[in-house]
Amino acid sequence: MKGVGIVLVSHSQEVAAGLKAFLRQVQPSVAVADAGGTETGELGTSTFRIKEAIESVYSEKGVLVLFDLGSARMSAEMALELMGEAAKKVKLADAPLVEGAYAAAVEAGCGSDLEKVRKTAEKTKQWRKLDG
């Protein structure tokens, strides 16, 4: 059974790829795609790379997109707009990239639906790292 897919958007190709490798170790059953950097691999984000990444892990269960800073949100939103109808099953997470992706992967690995995976990812905004 295929679960919710996860897409990692970062300004850095290495950040997104590294995080993907990390998630694979945590939860190998979850489909994760990375969309870091521009089309030429420079620092930045690319709407078309994000769209391709979403499509590569897309299923009826949906896809959660996590992103880092600045233009990443705009590029991700445009990717969804270009997808048309299929974008209904894709959600952006308002969450820190690393913590959110980690929590989302664990939740998706349990077979939860898209809404649950998104909420779990977004809860990581409240995670306390010190005095916990």
Partner 1 sequence: MEIGYHAIVKWIEKASRKIQEERDYLSQLDQAIGDGDHGVNLARGFTEVDQKLKARTQPDIGALFQEIAMTLLAKVGGASGPLYSTAFLKMASRLKGKETVSLDDLAQALLEAVQGLKMRGKAEQGQKTLLDVWEPLALNLANRREDWSWEQFCHLAREQMEKTKALEAKKGRAAYLGPRSVGHLDPGAVSSYFLFEALAQIMMEEEEGR
Applying CB under 8 A, among 2, 48, 55, 109 the residue interacting with partner 1 is 48
Q: Are 97 and 8 in contact, with CB atoms under 8 Å apart?
A: yes
Applying CB under 8 A, among 10, 27, 47, 112 the residue interacting with partner 1 is 47
Question: What span, in angstroms and rounded, lies between the C-alpha atoms of 94 and 92?
Answer: 7
Q: Read off the tokens for 106.
A: 């664990």
Q: Which is nearer to partner 1, 60 or 85 (CB)?
A: 85
- The active-site residue out of 6, 11, 30, 68 is 11
If one asks whether residue 14 binds partner 1 (CB under 8 A), the answer comes out as no
The CB-of-3 to partner 1 minimum distance in angstroms stands at 30
Partners of residue 6 on adjacent β-strands: 32, 64
Q: Are 27 and 106 in contact, with CB atoms under 8 Å apart?
A: yes
Question: What span, in angstroms and rounded, lies between the C-alpha atoms of 131 and 108?
Answer: 28
Residues 67-126 that bind partner 1 (CB under 8 A): 70-71, 74-75, 77-78
Q: Under the phi-then-psi rule, with left for phi > 0, alpha for psi from -120 to 50, and beta for the rest, what region is 44?
A: left
Q: Based on the residue annotation, tell me whether 92 is a catalytic residue of this protein.
A: no
The CB-of-44 to partner 1 minimum distance in angstroms stands at 3
Q: What is the maximum span of the chain, computed from C-alpha positions, in angstroms? A: 45
Applying CB under 8 A, among 3, 5, 36, 44 the residue interacting with partner 1 is 44
If one asks whether residue 12 binds partner 1 (CB under 8 A), the answer comes out as no
Q: Read off the tokens for 56.
A: 């590569």
Residues annotated as catalytic (active site), given as ranges? 11
> Interface residues with partner 1 (CB under 8 A)?
38-39, 42-48, 70-71, 74-75, 77-78
